Amino acid sequence: MYFLAIGLIYLAVGGDPAGIVALLMASGLGGLIAGFAWHFGRRYGTRVEDLQDSDAPDATGVVGVYPTASLRPIALAFGTTLLVLGVPIGSWMSMIGAAIVASQVLLLVHDTDD
Amino acid sequence: MTTIDRKPSAPTVTLGGDDPNHLVSIDSVIGPSGQEGTGLPTTLVGWLTTTNHKALGVAYFVASLTFLAIGGGLAGIIRAELTSPGQQVVSEQVYNQVFTIHGSVMVFLFAVPFGFGLANYIMPLQIGAPDLAFPRLNAFSFWLYVIGGAVMLFGFAADGGAAPFGWFAYPPLSGASGSPGLGADMWIVAIILTGTSGTLTAVNVIATITMLRTPGMTLFRMPILTWNLLVTAFMVLVVFPVLSGALLMLLADRQFGTKFYVPTDGGSPILWQHLFWFFGHPEVYIVALPFFGVVTEIFPVFARRPVFGYKGLIFATLTIGALSTSVWAHHMFVTGEVVVTFFALTSSLIAIPTGVKVFNWMGSMYGGAITFEAPMKFAIGFLVTFVVGGVTGVMLASPTLDFQLSDSFFVVAHFHYVMGGTVVIALFAGIYFWWPKVTGRMLSERLATWHFWLLMIGFNMTFFFMHLLGREGMPRRVPDYEPISNWELWNQLATAGYVILLISMVPFLIAVVKSLRGPANAGADPWNAYSLEWATTSPPVEHNFEWIPPIRSERPVFDFRWINHDDVGAPGVAEAWMAREGLDDRWLPLAGPVAADVADDANAASSADSDVG
Ligand code: HEM
Ligand SMILES: [Cu+2]
């Protein structure tokens, strides 16, 4: 909303095209976030966390299940770096990067199965 | 004292029992700190594979401080070169590379990631969460950042050296013919990678704050630091993808012969400037907001007052977030291609919420019982520096002056006051404040005082003289200058300031080593602080909390400490506490007359309940 408004003002004062596009794009992104929040609010209603007078013992169930240590994140990061760095350096590097990323994603999915 | 004990079988221990004023110490509820695990890995493999938010938080701190050291080292090369006229230390080409990588390392690899470190370590503790929402994504972001940062630095090893075109990479200089070397590509790739890492972290932070708050922690009870991190995350989400897109286009121009920024074929270098500054100006606030949050946590605690204008501060942060994303083109006044009045106006508007913040910080201290422990010293040092930087910033926002000063050392002085000064000083405020929480140990106050004064003197010496140089028109980004007027003297003083800055790190490092060798005896809440992270052991246990006090305001730990006084702290805390009897194995009866009142109320309430049931 905000960006939309600013974008329109800028349009009115005769700004240049690139500026306007950037602002309108940003309003799109902002809209996306707002839409998500709104949708979420509607679907789940008020949660315990938002009540003024709730207290820790009011929450029920498991707080969260936390993943154990994993080699996947660092391997994925390394693969992604090779993938992008291959653009200037050479496609062989991108291919290695892509292979690492693909294998790690598969392993990650496999890990999470159980 | 008339303690009316209604329960004959009540334990003899009462909350605040030994204290004449019935102040509750957190330690007395949760037991001594330092006995339990720290949640931090102990092996190298452990560090490389961890997904724990505290470990990654520490990793972010260490990595970003390492990059600060590297960026500071590069600044040393700059200062060495500028100490006297003529060219001594490096060639013009290398000078260009050095200041480009200095700026890029400081902005992309030090300042922003330190904020992410806070979001990793402190934020979940402040909202009572056991971890971030997506721990593995978090680990991925961290490694993408570190490996991406390494790519940027390895640019120095590339044929032709690192990127030479300044941290904002204007085409045509950053194009294929302007900077043909591989180092330039590596810079672009590095920024894309760290930008992606930042975007993913922002998603993680937003998800955590919306989903993982503990019961009672409503949005308007979140500490200001958490609020600022949330707004920062939204800003990152809006502007980082724009930057990544712009960089991909630049990379395509260089590698695949596209013409996005090439004027001869319908492209436009101005497009780059727009896209870059659409990111670049908010970036200043993306850097700054977390540190604003840090000092907002500190001022009230050491003034023993509630934060002044809690909602006003949040509103100011939101306004800064919104405005800063629409003022970018004030960096482009000199191009003559933008609507100057529009951007001059919006740029001046941003002074208002910033002023609100300064006012609120002072309001938080006004009339308080202020003490000057290390965190408070640095926070006040931050405030002074920030106000000076703000004044020079307002001068820059006026278009006429901007034309004169835009490429002079005045700008360099200004953004070092705003970015460098505030960030580095507030950073140390934060380190001194949370060090006991993270390590379970205190840092020496005496060494901190040395550190503080040396830092302030060194910092002001380094950058004050750059203002003078700038006013007389010394251009930035040039390794050589004429020995006119006082230029040589001022440059020498600036370099001397830099040396003092370096020296100021010595007492700090000594303090760190001494502290880490000492016993972990800081306790849960050494500062008598306010927010939730002080309600757990130092360092915090594996999943952060085994016990959480009732949350009825933005100061749950304060409220709990004063729970025996019914005229201090948020109402309802004592009731909530009484209601926990039997549910909470840390439950202890309250001490003092208040306890009796509350017990009455609670009895009345529960009998009313049972009537209904
Ligand atoms: C250790 C203390 C520091 C010193 C002595 C220092 C010194 C300098 C100097 C002299 C320049 C201008 C070079 C020129 O234009 O000829 C410069 C540029 C710059 N510095 Fe620093 N700096 C320091 C810390 C920082 C910090 C903490 C940050 C950011 C958080 C920072 C960000 C920048 C940026 C963005 C540039 C502009 C680079 C460019 O022109 O592309 N610096 N620094
Ligand atoms: Cu700006």
pLDDT one-digit tens code per residue, B416-448:
887 888 899 999 999 999 999 999 999 999 999
- Above 80 in pLDDT, residue B254? yes
Instruction: Please provide the average confidence, as pLDDT, over all residues in chain B.
Output: 84
Neighbours of B403 (CB within 10 A): 13
What angle (nearest 5°) sits at the alpha carbon of residue A103, between those of residues A99 and A108? Answer: 145
Residue B144 identity = L
Contact predicate A53/B216, CB 8 Å: yes
The SS3 call for residue A60 is coil
Average pLDDT, stretch B509-531?
A: 92
Question: pLDDT class for A17, splitting at 50, 70, 90?
Answer: very low
Question: pLDDT class for B64, splitting at 50, 70, 90?
Answer: very high
Instruction: Tell me whether residue A55 is in a domain.
Output: no
Ligand nearest to the backbone CA of B168: 1
Question: pLDDT class for B84, splitting at 50, 70, 90?
Answer: confident
Question: pLDDT class for B144, splitting at 50, 70, 90?
Answer: very high
Residue A68 CB partners (closer than 8 Å, separation 6+): B51
Residues A77 and A44 in one domain: no
* Two tokens, residue A48: 């315990």
What pLDDT was estimated at residue B21?
65
Give the minimum alpha-carbon distance from B467 to chain A in angstroms, rounded to a whole number.
Answer: 31
Query: Does the CB of B59 have a partner CB in chain A at under 8 Å?
Result: no
CA atoms within 13 A on the CB side of B403: 6
What angle (nearest 5°) sits at the alpha carbon of residue B127, between those of residues B121 and B128? Answer: 85
Instruction: Tell me whether residue A104 is in a domain.
Output: yes
**Model ipTM value:** 0.81
Q: Is B425 in the pocket of ligand 1 (CB under 6 A)?
A: no
What pLDDT was estimated at residue B11?
45
Give the one of B136, B339, B551 whose C-beta lies nearest to A72's C-beta. B136
pLDDT in tens, A43-74: 554 555 555 666 655 554 445 556 667 888 89
Least confident of A73-82, B235-244, B562-571: B562-571
Residues A77 and A46 in one domain: no
- Above 70 in pLDDT, residue B51? yes
Higher pLDDT, B580 or B312: B312
Residues A6 and A40 in one domain: yes
How far, in Å, CA of B529 to CA of B304, rounded? 9
Of B324-338, B350-364, B523-537, which one has max mean pLDDT? B523-537
Instruction: Tell me whether residue A94 is in a domain.
Output: yes
What angle (nearest 5°) sits at the alpha carbon of residue B205, between those of residues B201 and B206? Answer: 120
Query: Does the CB of A74 have a partner CB in chain B at under 8 Å?
Result: yes
Average pLDDT, stretch B304-322?
A: 88
Question: pLDDT class for B510, splitting at 50, 70, 90?
Answer: very high
Query: Ligand 2 centroid vs A50 CA: distance in angstroms?
Result: 36
What is the number of domains present in chain A? 2
Instruction: Tell me whether residue A34 is in a domain.
Output: yes
Instruction: Tell me whether residue A66 is in a domain.
Output: no
Domain that holds residue A42: 2-50
Instruction: Tell me whether residue A99 is in a domain.
Output: yes
Ligand 1 atom closest to B478 (CA): 16
User: Phi, psi at residue B162, to the nearest 5°?
Assistant: -80, 180
Instruction: Tell me whether residue A23 is in a domain.
Output: yes
- Above 90 in pLDDT, residue A11? no
In order of A97, B323, B440, the CA distances from B29 in angstroms are: 52, 45, 17
- Above 80 in pLDDT, residue B554? yes
What pLDDT was estimated at residue B603?
52
Question: pLDDT class for B508, splitting at 50, 70, 90?
Answer: very high
- Above 90 in pLDDT, residue B188? yes
Instruction: Tell me whether residue A65 is in a domain.
Output: no
- Chain B residues near residue A66 by CB distance under 8 angstroms: 51-52, 130-131, 135, 543
